[in-house]
Amino acid sequence: MSASLRLMAVHAHPDDESSKGAATMARYAAEGVSVLVVTCTGGERGSILNPKMDRPDILENMGEVRRLEMEKARQILGVDQRFLGFVDSGLPEDENEPLPEGCFGLQPLETASAPLVAAIRDFRPHVILTYDDDGGYPHPDHVMTNRISIEAFEAAGDPDRYPGTGEPWQPLKLYYHMGFTKERFEALHEAMTARDIGSPYADWISRWEDRPQKWAVTTRVPCGDYFEVRDQALLAHATQVDPDGFWFVCPREIQQEVWPTEDYHLARSLVDTEFPEDDLFAGIHAGVSPACS
């Protein structure tokens, strides 16, 4: 293989790329890896989560506003990005509430997967990042993102599947994001408490049995030097991220000291590797150089 290393991250909405795996992407991009964020929907039905941006004019133009936010975040991270073109499903208030007609969460699997297969065959990633089979949290668009990521990973290399979407390409590894683990939040909580900084994590940790961890962490990517880039990308999504909110409650220097990695579960692999990993491209490097074109 003579092509450069390529990493694809598949996300449901604009802003997801900045809250999950952003420092990892920024690090690899800075090292010469080609990184592409694929965003399944435009986030049109998202709420304004930053009270400082809660204005009717923004809400009326949420789709366009979020596209502009995505472009700003993309530039900060140093990655490329493309939309698949599906419409945000919104987050139902309860499980019995029907999803809006035509939204991403209601698409047939092959319909929703076809443009991702095309993107994989065009970009030719060696590694794909996505959510676990619960979506990371039970948003219908996150669950569908997992489903199409698995489908596309398994289909993109098969010339008999999804005809008309480009020449076959088989990715080699697929990972689930594992950023919200009990171990990580316990470490941050203990560090903040030891420094007499009020920690918001105690109640969350005490209720952890309500959210059992389904997947083991197999891979921890050192990327603490890029946490500032991650935070700037988060802030670019001004309608979704409150600068005084959850994402910034733990000082960055504590995060860099106590937990300077972003963590993943290797869900699919066609190459040999050894656990624990500290590199998404473990087992792929032989004959592949990010300096090549």
210 is in an annotated binding site: no
The answer to whether residue 2 scores a pLDDT higher than 60 is no
Choose between 293 and 14: higher pLDDT.
Answer: 14
How many CB atoms lie under 10 A from the CB of residue 121? 19
189 is in an annotated binding site: no
Calpha distance 167→58 (Å, rounded) = 41
The answer to whether residue 291 scores a pLDDT higher than 50 is no
16 is in an annotated binding site: yes
The answer to whether residue 232 scores a pLDDT higher than 90 is yes
Q: How confident is the model at residue 208, as a pLDDT?
A: 79
Q: Which fold has domain 6-178+215-269?
A: Rossmann fold (3.40.50)
The answer to whether residue 108 scores a pLDDT higher than 90 is yes
Q: How confident is the model at residue 210, as a pLDDT?
A: 66
How many CB atoms lie under 10 A from the CB of residue 110? 13
Q: How confident is the model at residue 292, as a pLDDT?
A: 37
Read off the pLDDT of residues 259-290 as tens digits, 9 standing for 90 and up.
999 999 999 999 999 999 999 999 997 545 44
Calpha distance 251→256 (Å, rounded) = 9
Place of tokens 């919200």: 180
Mean pLDDT rounded to a whole number for the chain: 93
Calpha distance 112→89 (Å, rounded) = 13
Q: How confident is the model at residue 198, as a pLDDT?
A: 87
- The rounded percent of the chain whose pLDDT value lies above 70 is 95
Q: How confident is the model at residue 59, as a pLDDT?
A: 86
Check residue 118 and report its DSSP letter. Answer: H
Q: How confident is the model at residue 120, as a pLDDT?
A: 98
Q: Where do the domains of the chain lie?
A: 6-178+215-269, 181-214
Backbone angles phi, psi at 72, to 5 degrees: -65, -45
Calpha distance 258→261 (Å, rounded) = 9
Q: How confident is the model at residue 246, as a pLDDT?
A: 85
Choose between 1 and 122: higher pLDDT.
Answer: 122
Read off the pLDDT of residues 177-193 as tens digits, 9 standing for 90 and up.
999 999 999 999 999 99
Check residue 199 and report its DSSP letter. Answer: P
Q: Using 50, 70 and 90 to split pLDDT, how confident is the model at 112?
A: very high
Give this prediction's pTM: 0.94
Q: How confident is the model at residue 205, as a pLDDT?
A: 86
